[in-house]
Structure 1
Amino acid sequence: MTRFITKQKHTKHVIPGKPVFVGSQKEENTRIRLIGYDEDEIIEIELQTISELSNYLNKYEKTWINIDGLHDVELLREIGKLFDIHTLILEDIANTGQRPRVDIEENYIFTSIKMMFLDENKHQLEAEQISMYLLKNILITFQEKQGDVFEPVRDRLRNKKGRVRNYNVTYLKYCLLDLIVDNYNFLMETFGEKVEDLEDKILLEPNKNILEEINKNKIELNYFRKAIRPAREAISSFKDFKTDLITKKEQPFFNDLHDLIQRSHDLVENYKNMLSEQLTVYSTNVNNRLNDIMKILTIFSVIFIPITFIAGVYGTNFEYIPELTYRYGYYAMLGVIMLIVVIMLGFFKYKKWF
C-alpha cells in the first residue's frame, strides 16, 4: 500500500461537490464529541447522532465539536446541512489525500492539514488528515481516527489553564494547530538525531547496512516533506488574509505559528542536504576502499606474475624433484593449497573486504 499517493479511483466520474470517502477506514464507528465552555463552566459529552448537537449549540458561549472517523459520508452531509458547510468543503474533508490548505472567507475559515506521528511497529512516519471548520463561536474538527496530540488542549480547557477558556474559538483553533506544528518539530528533532548519528558510522564502517539506513531516512524525509511544505504555505495564509474571525488579539499567535512551521521546514531542508552529503561521502569511501583493495591485489599479482611465468616456462619438469618420491606429497600439496586459501580469506575478512 502506497503512502505517498492516495488512490482517487473512487472519485472518478463523481459529480463535483459530492462527498466521497477516499482513503483507508481507520475507525469502525464514527465518534462525535462536544465540549461547550465559557470562562466559568464547561461540559464535555459524547453524542450518538448529529441531531443531538442542536440541543447544545446555544447553551454555551463557545463550542468545540470533534468528529473521529471520516468514512460515514451521510454523517458529513448532516453536519454540512446543520452548519451550512459548502459541499466542496465536505468533499475535501472526506478525501484524506487532500493537500493541506486554508480557505478564509467572511463567515468561516476552513483548514486542512496533516498530523504526523511515528508508527512504532513499522518504524516509519504516518500521516492523518485533520480538517478544521471555524465559525464565529464554533470550531468543528474532523479526524481520521481516535487518539491525537490534542489532549493537552482538552486538559487546559477542563482545568482552566492558560487563556484558552478566556479567548474565543479562534484561539482554540490556534492551540490545536500549534500542537500539530510542535509535533512536527519534535518528530524532526527525533529524526535528525538518527541522521546525525550516521555521520560517524559512515566514516568508520561504510557497509551495506549504512546505505540501507540512508535510503530509509531519505524515504521518511520525503514523506515528511510531502506534508510539511504545503502545510507551511497554508499557515502562511493566516498572515496574508484579513478576516473578522481573527482579531488583533489572536493575530500575533498565528504569526508565531508561521515562524514555528518555518523552523520545521528549515529542518527538513537541512536534513535533506545532510542525507545527500552522507550518500556522497558513503560513495566516496566505498570507492576509496575499493581502490585500496585493488592496490593490494595488484601488488600480489605483480609479485606472482614472474613466478608464474617461470613455472609456466619450465613446468617444473626437472629430473630430480624430491617431493615426487614422497608418499604423502600429494596430500601435503592439497594441505598447502587449503592453508593459503584460509589465510587469504582470513586476511580479507580482517580487512573487512567482504
Structure 2
Amino acid sequence: MSRTLVQPVGQKRLTNVAVVRLKKHGNRFEIACYKNKVLSWRSGVEKDLDEVLQSHIVYSNVAKGVLAKSKDLKAAFGMDDQTKICLEILEKGELQVAGKERESQLSNQFRDIATIVMQKTINPETQRPYTISMIERLMHEIHFAVDPHSSSKKQALDVIRELEKHFPIKRSPMRLRLTLPQHNFDSLAGKLNEWKTTIVSKDESGNQLSIVCEMEPGLFRDCDALVRNLQGRSEILAISVHGEGDILHTEDVSSSTKQQPIDQLTEDMQKQTLAPKTTKLGDQAAVKQNKCSTCDALMGDAKEYREHFKSDWHKHNLRRKTRQLPPISAQECMADVQLSDSKGDLDEYSF
C-alpha cells in the first residue's frame, strides 16, 4: 500500500496570538499580534511596531496558517508591501477576542461611561448628582449599547444628551474666575445674563474686577473668547460643581505644577516615595539601592524596584524620554497628568 506524504504549502502556524481582522474587497485579511499590545499601539503608548506584530506577514487565516495571496493584496490595498498593509489592518481592523473577554471589556466600559455621566451631571431639582446605580439604570432604560471602538468620554456625552430628553438631568456647571478691567464689565454683564450665568462673588482690586461665576460647560469657549477681547483673562476653578459649594472635581489650571501639595498624590504615587530604608544600628550591610535611569531615582528593595516599572510615573517619564525631554519627579508627574486630563476634559466636554 503506497503512502503519500502531504506537506502544507504556504502555511505558517502561530499560537498564543491576538488576531486583528479586516474585511476588504470581498476578502478577509488577518495579522498576528502579541496580546495586550494592540490597544497600547492604538492609544499611542507603544511605538515599536515589532513589539506589536509577531510577523510582518498578512494572512487570510491566522489559525490555520494560510497566507494571503499577493493578487488579493493588490486588489484590496493597491500594493503588496506587507508592512504597510499590516499597519492599515492594525489601525482599521477588528481585534478578535473571546466571548467572555469581550463581555468583560464591554461591562467595564459601560461602568466607566456611567461614572463619567455621574460626575458631569446633576438633578436640576436638588442640584445634586445621581448615584452610579441610578445612572446605570437610566442608561438601561434608554437601551444604551456600548461601542468598543469609541472613547468613553465621547459616548458619555451622547448618553447625557439622550438622558436629557427623557429624565430630569442636566450638565453640572463649571466654575470660572473672570478678571478684566472695570470699564469693560458692562459689555460682559449683558452676555452673562444672556447665558444665565450664576455670579458667586465679585472682587475689586484697583481698576481690575474679578468675578467668580458658574456656567454651562458648553459656553466656556465663547466666554473665554469674549473675555480675551475685553482685555481680560479666564481661569478654571472647577470643571464640575455639584450642589452649593460641593466641588467634586477641581483643577486649578493656572497654578504652577511645582506648587501641588504632596497630599494630593494618589495612593499609588505615594508608594513611589524615594526615602531610603533605614538600617538598624549594628547592621553592617547597607540596604541595596536600585536606580531607575529613566526617572533618575533610587528605589529600595527589588520588589519596590519592580513595582516602580509598573507605575504611571515611570510610564510618563518613558513618554517624555521618547520626546527628548528630561525626567520629572513623582509630584510633578501627578500634577502634569491632572493638568493634561483637565485640558482634555475641556476639549471633549465643550459643545
Normalization by structure 1: what TM-score? 0.26
Structure with greater helix share of residues = 1
Structure whose alpha-carbon radius of gyration is higher? 1
Q: Between Structure 1 and Structure 2, which shows a larger proportion of strand residues? A: 2
Task: Using structure 2 for the length normalisation, give the TM-score.
Answer: 0.26
By relative contact order (CA 8 Å, sep 6+), the higher-ranking structure is: 1
